[in-house]
Chains A and B, each alone.
Chain A
């Protein structure tokens, strides 16, 4: 799906847990996620801390979308 969106002309960022799959599939902007059953969350944290974590991941994704790339790039969450 990532590739078809990009092929159609819209920049896309893939937030995913298993980044090697994303690389194999061919996503160009990739942000690593937390875990397979909760890619943008962590049930061990409080609701507030969890939302802060999610926000960091999404902001990394927005940064990735705003960054020129020439090849497949993984944007680590700070």
Chain B
């Protein structure tokens, strides 16, 4: 088999042209490997050859993206490589953005396989992890050997068209792609194994990492709740019978706004749940079990609250993306503010 032809992209620093003071240099082609390309070449062994290196100053690239990219792509195209390796950029932000941009363009515009490497918090990682394979590296060039030892096997697989394993196995940053696979052990066994490790304070790897949640400071207490207008909101999927807004039973893409003006009670056959993540029979029998309109109405009549706001907002909180829920509330809270609602009770199942 012919050797895999590789072009390597690096910045002015790794090319030993200079540091920040030389970050303005425009793209340049050099035959053969330069700087970290030597380590890459050694790791590829006989299977591949670094035919050339594109060097560009980080500032030049980021300040003249289109021009720089055109020039770089032309250099790459002329040499018709099978593979482009960019970086690794570790935690260097501009370098990371350049590596991601060049790798993506080589892939999309020239059909050349591409791999880069970055530290997870490099802004380039967020920007390009979905589009290109980015090996997760340490945050400084001290991690070069590690990075190379993972970039090279992944790059070889890509060029040969072999199956690429999961991000955790191959060491690239998760691309947000789900793949069906059969595990050796069933779910219950894996869960118990994880729990046992957790109890023993041993390291374990979750199969479903939680997204990062931000924090909001608490609002001051309501001064006179007996005079306040209170609204009911739920993620429990309570909707008028028949689900007129067709809110999805999981991963909801919308919420509903329903008039409860004068309603004493959410009656069976008139209200039900659209939620697909719990047994709906109790909520369908009596939706007040999820959205307590009956009790709120009583408290309103007894003067324990000022009034119950005449709209309720409902969605299905079942595998629904944080981003979607956030957008729903950002939308309906405008109406709550406009209508002088002073407090909200939000119920979840």
Contact = CB atoms under 8 A, between A and B. Distances in A.
A59 B214 CA distance: 29
Contacts, number: 171
Given A65-B222, A69-B221, 15 more contacts: A1-B328, A2-B329, A6-B218, A6-B219, A16-B348, A21-B348, A26-B214, A37-B281, A39-B349, A41-B288, A51-B294, A54-B288, A54-B289, A58-B296, A66-B223
Contact of A39 (B281, B290, B330, B343): B290
Interface in A1-22: 1-18, 21-22
A29 B219 CA distance: 10
A66 to B, nearest CB: 5
Given A11-B221, A38-B289, A40-B292, A26 B304 contact: no
Interface string A21-56: 110111011000100111111010000001100110
Interface of B: 210, 213-223, 225, 228, 230, 233, 235-236, 278-283, 285-286, 288-292, 294-296, 298-299, 304-305, 315, 325-326, 328-330, 333-334, 336-337, 341-349
A41 B347 CA distance: 12
A10 B217 CA distance: 11
A54 to B, nearest CB: 5
Contact of B282 (A38, A57, A65): A38
Contacts of B315: 1
A39 B225 contact: no
Nearest 5 CB-CB pairings of A with B? A41-B289, A4-B329, A28-B218, A1-B329, A16-B348
A78 interface: no
Nearest to A21: B348
A69 B336 CA distance: 22
A62 interface: yes
B347 A16 contact: yes
B216 A40 contact: no
24 contacts: A4-B333, A6-B216, A8-B329, A8-B336, A10-B333, A11-B218, A17-B348, A25-B213, A28-B218, A37-B281, A37-B349, A40-B292, A40-B347, A43-B285, A54-B292, A54-B294, A55-B295, A55-B298, A57-B292, A58-B345, A65-B230, A65-B345, A68-B220, A69-B218
Contact of A10 (B219, B282, B288): B219
B296 A10 contact: no
Contact of A7 (B216, B230, B299): B216
A2 B313 CA distance: 12
Contacts of A2: 329, 346
Nearest to A22: B348
Contacts of B283: 37-38
Determine which residue in A5, A67, A69, A70 has the highest number of CB atoms from chain B within 10 A of its CB, and name it. Answer: A5
A51 B215 CA distance: 34
Contact of B233 (A1, A25, A66, A67): A1
Nearest to A72: B218
Contacts of A13: 343-346
B288 A40 contact: yes
